[in-house]
Amino acid sequence: MSGENPDERNPFAPPPEDAPEQPWRPRTPVPPQQQGGPQQRWQPQQQPPQPRFDPNDPVQRRARYALSAGMAGLFCLVTGIVYVSLLFGALALYWGVSALRAPRPKDAPTGPPAPVRPQTPAAIGGLVTGGAAVLCVLLVLGTNLYYRDYVTCVSDSLTAEAQQGCSDLGPKFLVDLYGSDQG
């Protein structure tokens, strides 16, 4: 490649010495010269820019907070910290709903509107994880409230024999659950 023919010029080679100074600009893709010919170059499809996360945008921050709080709620539920899990789950639901209900920013007049707002996936993830955490906490608390006599009997029993005497107060799945904890 000599660099004198514009079709052969190496884009990475320095400009000729007698070329005037030009300001920097990004490279543009080269269009194909012939259809199906050996000199055809690949040109990517032009797509609209994807939405990006902006940490200064309060709506996007709330969506990220919703996702983080929902995951923290599920983690606390698994580790047995039920009331903290309820708090995290409620926060995730609040932040997720507020992120989804936020008004859309004015679309740029030069291009089509973005199909998905950048906070939507995180907000929906926060709603799902937060909702699951709240639902599981309510299930645990409701079960403990409904079978309060059995739970109180088991927690107040001092020996394994006294705990086995409580088995007629609760259903089989709960008796098996509390019985498996006592090894």
At 28-54, the pLDDT tens digits run 665 755 555 555 454 556 666 666 777
The least confident of 106-110, 142-146, 172-176 is 106-110
139 has a pLDDT exceeding 70: yes
Query: What's residue 63's pLDDT?
Result: 93
6 has a pLDDT exceeding 50: yes
pTM of the model: 0.62
Average pLDDT, the chain: 81
Residues 11-30, mean pLDDT to the nearest whole number: 78
Query: What's residue 183's pLDDT?
Result: 43
Q: Measure the CA–CA gap between 70 and 94, rounded to whole angstroms.
A: 11
At 48-90, the pLDDT tens digits run 666 677 788 898 999 999 999 999 999 999 999 999 999 999 9
Three-class secondary structure assignment of 69-120: HHHHHHHHHHHCCHHHHHHHHHHHHHHHHHHHHCCCCCCCCCCCCCCCCCCH
pLDDT category at 111 given cuts 50, 70, 90 is low
Domain boundaries, the chain: 56-102+117-133, 147-183
Residues 105-133, mean pLDDT to the nearest whole number: 79
Residue 7 one-letter amino acid: D
Query: pLDDT: is 94 or 181 the higher one?
Result: 94
pLDDT-above-70 percentage for the chain: 72
The answer for 43, left when phi > 0, alpha when psi is -120 to 50, beta otherwise, is: beta
Encode 117-136: b = buried (16+ Cβ within 10 Å), e = exposed: bbbbebbbbbbebbbbbbeb
Q: Measure the CA–CA gap between 169 and 31, rounded to whole angstroms.
A: 79
